Structure 1
């Protein structure tokens, strides 16, 4: 029996996606058709997308900085704007000696760790952690050479990592609780609330990440944390209160903001 293959979606599929509000209906139809293995699976995938599920959950994968990453239903989908933070981390890594030790915290699918490892032209020691079991399953598939831990922030990490991390990259929940209801339905209904809701001002998890970072960073190590433009000043102040040198940076093109904290080198 020959394997089902349909690289050119039927016009009715495009029409259904367009009627459901999919702005890039033609592109989405092509991706769904290329991923489906049988006509029945194609029909089911189209139905899920028309019902409002994120395209990445329908496909079972997401594209991030040229990588195809496993994404299970209900897991946070990596955003293009996070690529800005990875670019900053890659630039900082150029000045690091030896094999950089990388931690992807609040890792979700492990997209940041995977992209950072791919972006460096040398071997890295890669670690990642998340509290969501489904996210951890995805990260273990996306980071086959890394160490992935399940638990709350730093809690599941081995003590041997303390004082050794060169690059600590974090895309934490930072949406203020009152604003979660304003998010697009794809995020609000189908992604975990814990990956979105950052508390009253959006910085509850951010502050906890920052407070714990100094004891895990190596001398000269960097914390790179994604936030929003309006939260950048307070995030930078929290980084400074933790004893790290802080600077904020951003990209208008990607609508991306990051705060970078650096531990002083040993004297």
Structure 2
């Protein structure tokens, strides 16, 4: 590619590459580049199909700038709906101790960072887990400012045992795309994001079921599990959450095209005192 010399050249190059929002992307790339040579390289990478967030090195999520390294799952705008639902539930916890949050399949750690930013300082303890080492490295940077704990491993496996029965908000954006549907995804996701963050097995619910099945071991009485899913997968996700013994409901957002299944752990039974 010849050196990029103007904003109009960037727009034209991106538009020719099929970028739908070429003007907006061009503004971001021009603002991010420190030299003309760097801008040329960034435009070339985007024109080759690399996700914009990987080119920039960050994604905007819930008003935050989240670091996103190449090969790490890019946080989606629709996931902001799950965060809003979780924040509303967290405000219902009238207590002086911090709200304990666990972000499973955390990717870049965007949900944990957004929840920490939305709650009063000192009122949240964040743990995040991912099986992908690249995602773990990225999440550690994004959660460092809120003293978040990031664990590498498979779902609940690496979590400290002391968290059992203490988690107030268990949030998860697990892979939920059926294996056969992976080929239908946009190339940006299919080629440049980790398959472990996309492939949910034959019916898309393999990881979802595992998340739901073990959730009651970790949730505090009255705690909540929030699982991002698709509109099509929501009934199966809700069924998995209900089978785990949680009270399940589904929340949808038409604007963002988002669906979240929310499971609530039954409150601890009230033990009657001795009769007098």
TM range (shorter): over 0.9
Would you say 1:102 and 2:104 are equivalent positions?
no
TM-score, normalised by the number of residues in structure 1: 0.95
Residue 55 of structure 2 corresponds to which residue in structure 1? 58
- After superposition, the C-alpha distances for 1:159-195 in whole angstroms (9 at most, x for unaligned) are 1111110000000000011111000110011000110
Between 34-43 and 169-178, report the one with greater CA deviation: 34-43
Residue 133 of structure 2 corresponds to which residue in structure 1? 133
Q: Given the alignment, which residue of 178, 181, 204 partners 1:179? A: 181
Q: Does the Cα contact within 8 Å between 2:7 and 2:27 map onto a contact in 1?
A: no
User: Tell me, what secondary structure is at the counterpart of 1:247?
Assistant: strand
Q: Given the alignment, which residue of 86, 102, 107 partners 1:89? A: 86
Q: Does the Cα contact within 8 Å between 1:247 and 1:259 map onto a contact in 2?
A: yes
Q: Does the Cα contact within 8 Å between 2:53 and 2:74 map onto a contact in 1?
A: yes
Q: Does the Cα contact within 8 Å between 2:105 and 2:173 map onto a contact in 1?
A: yes
User: Tell me, what secondary structure is at the counterpart of 1:229?
Assistant: coil
User: Tell me, what secondary structure is at the counterpart of 1:18?
Assistant: helix
Q: Per-residue deviation at 1:121? A: 2.8
- After superposition, the C-alpha distances for 1:84-143 in whole angstroms (9 at most, x for unaligned) are 111110111111123100001100000011111111234200100000011011100000
Q: Per-residue deviation at 1:9? A: 4.6
Residue 118 of structure 1 corresponds to which residue in structure 2? 117
Would you say 1:22 and 2:22 are equivalent positions?
no
Residue 3 of structure 1 corresponds to which residue in structure 2? none
Q: Does the Cα contact within 8 Å between 1:9 and 1:29 map onto a contact in 2?
A: no
What does residue range 104-253 of structure 1 map to in structure 2 within 5 Å?
Answer: 104-122=103-121, 123-144=123-144, 145-253=147-255
Would you say 1:37 and 2:39 are equivalent positions?
no
Distance 1:105 1:136 in 2: 11
Q: Given the alignment, which residue of 249, 254, 257 partners 1:255? A: 257
Greater gyration radius: 2
Distance 2:136 2:160 in 1: 16
**CA distance 1:81–1:9, shift in 2 (3 Å):** farther
TM-score, normalised by the number of residues in structure 2: 0.92
Distance 1:193 1:202 in 2: 13
Residue 75 of structure 1 corresponds to which residue in structure 2? 72
Structure 1 segments, 4+ long, off by >2 Å, are none
**CA RMSD of superposed structures (Å):** 1.3
Q: Which runs of 5+ in 2 are unaligned?
A: 270-276
Distance 2:7 2:164 in 1: 55
- After superposition, the C-alpha distances for 1:21-46 in whole angstroms (9 at most, x for unaligned) are 11111111111111112221111111
User: Tell me, what secondary structure is at the counterpart of 1:230?
Assistant: coil
